Amino acid sequence: MKREELAQQVVEDITKLQRSMHPSTWRGLDISRAQVGMLYMLYYHKCPNMKKLAAQMDISKSAITQIMEPLIEKGFVSRTPDPKDRRVAILALTKKGHQTIKKFNHQRTEGLRAAMTQLNDKELKQLYELHQKIADNLAKQKGASQ
């Protein structure tokens, strides 16, 4: 397998592993994968407004609204007017939304830890070092693009 193909396969495998950790948790809440993604966006990007979210995700404000409305109705997200501009709505996770993301994260890390139980100490250390190298490279790339 060529280097580029191998790298692509690693990325795809990691993505599959991560995605496999969530469905049983969020399906029980009657929310979609897109809505889970939106909860994570709100978790990591505190109090954005619809316009900023739409720009960041490169989708329309109406698409954000369609994803957001059920989350608001189910109590995961709050929408409040911006005190500086009443035409703008600020979105934030509610206490229920924060608890849900924490539960997702806990289950994901449990699943990933379980997936690594077959690694011996040397392999786990090697995986850690490789991960650090990738993270450092991504940080440098991000810094260079800003």
pLDDT over 60 at 22, yes or no: no
CATH number for region 3-115: 1.10.10.10
**What are 84-133's pLDDT values in tens digits?**
888 888 899 999 999 999 988 887 788 778 888 999 999 999 999 999 99
What's the CA dihedral at 105, 111, 117, 119 to 10 degrees?
A: -80
Domain ranges within the chain, ordered by starting residue: 3-115, 120-146
Query: Looking at residue 98, what is its pLDDT?
Result: 95
